[in-house]
A and B are shown apart, each in its own frame.
Chain A
Amino acid sequence: MSKILIIAEHDGQALNPSTAKTLTCAAAIGGDIDIAVFADSVDAVAAEAAALDGVSKVLTVETSGNGFRLAAALAPKIVAMAEGYSHILAPSTTFGKDLLPRVAALLGVAQISDVMAVLGSHEFQRPIYAGNAIVNVTVPADQVMAGTVRTASFAAAGAGSSASIESAGSAEAPSHTRYVKLEASGGERPDLQSAPRVVSGGRALGSEENFDIIYQLADAMGAGVGASRAAVDAGYVPNDMQVGQTGKIIAPDLYVAIGISGAIQHLTGIKDAGTIVAINKDAEAPIFEVADIGLVGDLFNIVPELTQKLA
């Protein structure tokens, strides 16, 4: 039977929703599931993890000075804890992507990135070529399977349980790697990665000031805000708002793409959205090939009108 260790992601205070999604993937593999929480102060996060349905136990590891953010601090400890586990999973977020290959290499095993479906205990589906192809991959059953989980492919596990919480010691960052700071741009709006509605703007907005109309529409809808790479590169919005192959892969119920052409790298990030709405002045824009509802016209007229009618 499988025995699975999930590495929890959090910001120091609260569990990131990606952890509950990774848990759903683990449950599809089946077996005993433990969650490891590395934190400077473990209690609140561990309690949240212990409440998730289907968890056998939560193992806490104390770090200091934001060490829980550093792969070099976590990886050796995870390897020390790996004994007896058949699978080690983390979400395919920047946290998990940074961490898990370091763990896999220390264990001398391969890693499967971006698991999107579980076909068997050691067989999975994952996207390659920016999602232009989906492949079945198999890893040897006699090795630990290390994998990152594409969170847009799994719903979050429920919470209402109370698994036991045990200390598994501490982890120290090696002196060669030092955390300095995090500049988080996130504001009051719903988190892009878990928001049920997302409004995104592209290059067409033309400036940081003009991007305001996107925020206003998002607020009228109670939506999170995203952007194309072109809008981020041009400095209209910060990097953490980028949606796509190299940004965030999201699966909201409603995605509204405004002044975004629909490049393949952008579409990779929204394939699993429920309903896609596109607003673009070019009727030939590729975004309309995937949009459920399309409206051709000038966004500078359409967006304020829509905002007003929703208010």
Chain B
Amino acid sequence: MKILVGLKRVIDYNVRVQVKPDGSGVVTDGVKMSINPFDEIALEEALRLREAGVAEEVVVVSIGPGAAQQQLRTGLAMGADRAILVEADEEVQPLTAARVLLSLVEKEQPGLVMLGKQAIDDDCSQTGQMLAALWDRPQATFASEVVVADGVATVTREVDAGLETIEVDLPALITVDLRLNEPRFVKLPDIMKAKKKPLDEMPLAELGVTAGNFVSTSAYAPPAQRERGIMVEDVDGLMAALKDKGLV
């Protein structure tokens, strides 16, 4: 079985993202870029499935600017077998990403597609579910445990009410949550080896998908700031402050 894993290039999660003063976007110049942390977890899980003998090949794909090669090379260094970069210069919205992934799925015929449950840039949490819909296959979103056997994935999902378990027949789409695993660290020799692994590049148009910009975004603004309040000395001070606000 082959597993296809999506890796989105995003601003690193440690960066405090700032809105440009003219409201035209967020500051990206000179900002550290990384693999979307949820996608990294998806890749880790795919690699573990391969190491457990459940899968034979792990293919990483990124849809984005040429510079997303860096994230794909990191994915190869983590252990992916090969990489595909679908080059798009404009912003890629979730429905477009899902259509691109669908066309790759038709070509690659994976048993599983694994993605992060959301990208930490647009926070949309849509692409996986959209792909599953277009592909007409099952979806298991927000996974915190994945067991694959006999053509069935048993997935534990982190839902608001607790932990839900569902079974899905393969091929299927899984999106992963943070507690699924802890991604491995990349070692230097792996980075060297990754340079020799295949990385195919193709323009988005070659897949017959046009990047429809369905949602147009204007006015970026910083969020309303909360003010720093008062400091109290002790529990009695806290009680008094709460009483003052009518909260106890």
Binding site for B on A (CB under 8 A): 11, 69-72, 75, 93-95, 97-106, 108-114, 127-140, 143, 174-186, 193, 197, 221, 229, 232-233, 238-240, 245-246, 248, 253-254, 264-265, 271, 275-277, 288-297, 302, 305-306, 309-310
Residue interface mask B227-248, A partner, CB < 8 A = 1: 0111111111111011001011
Chain A CB within 8 A of B210 CB? no
Complex: A81 Cα to B230 Cα, angstroms: 53
Complex: A69 Cα to B166 Cα, angstroms: 10
Query: Which of the residues B94, B131, B216 comes within 8 Å of A138, measured between beta carbons?
Result: B216
Assess the B19–A133 pair: CB atoms within 8 A: yes
Assess the A113–B248 pair: CB atoms within 8 A: no
Assess the B130–A101 pair: CB atoms within 8 A: yes
* 9-residue interface stretch from B51-59, B74-82, B217-225: B217-225
Chain A residues, CB < 8 A from B129: 71, 98-102, 105
Chain B residues, CB < 8 A from A128: 121-123
Complex: A174 Cα to B132 Cα, angstroms: 13
Report A308 CB to chain B, min CB distance, Å: 9
Q: A181-B165, A289-B228, A291-B228 given. 6 additional CB < 8 A pairs?
A: A101-B128, A105-B133, A113-B125, A134-B220, A246-B117, A276-B229
Assess the A110–B11 pair: CB atoms within 8 A: no
Could you give 19 example pairs across A and B, Cβ below 8 Å?
A70-B166, A101-B127, A113-B123, A113-B125, A130-B120, A131-B223, A135-B217, A135-B218, A136-B218, A177-B138, A182-B164, A238-B162, A275-B247, A289-B228, A293-B231, A295-B237, A305-B235, A306-B239, A309-B239
Query: Which of the residues A143, A176, A229, A245 comes within 8 Å of B137, measured between beta carbons?
Result: A176
Complex: A245 Cα to B233 Cα, angstroms: 31
Chain A residues, CB < 8 A from B131: 105
Chain B residues, CB < 8 A from A95: 159-160
Chain B residues, CB < 8 A from A289: 226, 228
Complex: A143 Cα to B215 Cα, angstroms: 11
Complex: A104 Cα to B161 Cα, angstroms: 24
- With contacts A101-B129, A294-B229 taken as known, whether A248 is within 8 angstroms of B160 at the C-beta atoms is yes
Chain A residue, CB-CB nearest to B213: A110
Assess the B162–A182 pair: CB atoms within 8 A: yes
Chain A CB within 8 A of B185 CB? no
Chain A CB within 8 A of B95 CB? yes
Residue interface mask B89-128, A partner, CB < 8 A = 1: 0000111001000000000000000000110111111111
Number of A-B contacts (CB under 8 A): 249
Complex A-B, nearest 9 residue pairs according to Cβ-Cβ distance, in ascending order? A110-B214, A292-B229, A101-B129, A105-B130, A105-B133, A101-B126, A180-B165, A184-B162, A129-B17
Assess the A309–B125 pair: CB atoms within 8 A: no
Chain A CB within 8 A of B158 CB? yes
Chain A residue, CB-CB nearest to B177: A246
Complex: A175 Cα to B86 Cα, angstroms: 33
- With contacts A101-B94, A295-B237 taken as known, whether A113 is within 8 angstroms of B124 at the C-beta atoms is yes
Complex: A240 Cα to B177 Cα, angstroms: 13
Which DSSP category, helix, strand, loop or mixed, fits chain B's interface? mixed
Report A140 CB to chain B, min CB distance, Å: 7
Assess the B219–A296 pair: CB atoms within 8 A: no
Assess the B223–A127 pair: CB atoms within 8 A: yes
Binding site for A on B (CB under 8 A): 11, 13, 16-19, 26, 93-95, 98, 117-118, 120-134, 137-139, 141-142, 144, 154, 157-169, 172, 177-179, 214-224, 226, 228-239, 241-242, 245, 247-248
Report B168 CB to chain A, min CB distance, Å: 5
Chain B residues, CB < 8 A from A276: 226, 229
Complex: A26 Cα to B226 Cα, angstroms: 28
Query: Which of the residues A138, A185, A290 comes within 8 Å of B226, measured between beta carbons?
Result: A290
Chain B residue, CB-CB nearest to A303: B235
Assess the A239–B215 pair: CB atoms within 8 A: no
Assess the B217–A102 pair: CB atoms within 8 A: no
Report B127 CB to chain A, min CB distance, Å: 8
Chain B residues, CB < 8 A from A181: 164-165
Chain A residues, CB < 8 A from B245: 275, 292
Assess the B161–A11 pair: CB atoms within 8 A: yes
Report B61 CB to chain A, min CB distance, Å: 18
Chain A residue, CB-CB nearest to B19: A133
Assess the B241–A293 pair: CB atoms within 8 A: yes
Complex: A275 Cα to B138 Cα, angstroms: 42
Chain A residues, CB < 8 A from B144: 239
Q: Taking each of A101, A131, A143, A294, which has the highest tally of chain B beta carbons within 10 Å of its own beta carbon?
A: A101
- With contacts A93-B160, A95-B159 taken as known, whether A102 is within 8 angstroms of B137 at the C-beta atoms is no
Complex: A180 Cα to B167 Cα, angstroms: 7
Q: Taking each of A109, A177, A248, A310, which has the highest tally of chain B beta carbons within 10 Å of its own beta carbon?
A: A177
Q: Taking each of A112, A178, A264, which has the highest tally of chain B beta carbons within 10 Å of its own beta carbon?
A: A178
Report A130 CB to chain B, min CB distance, Å: 7
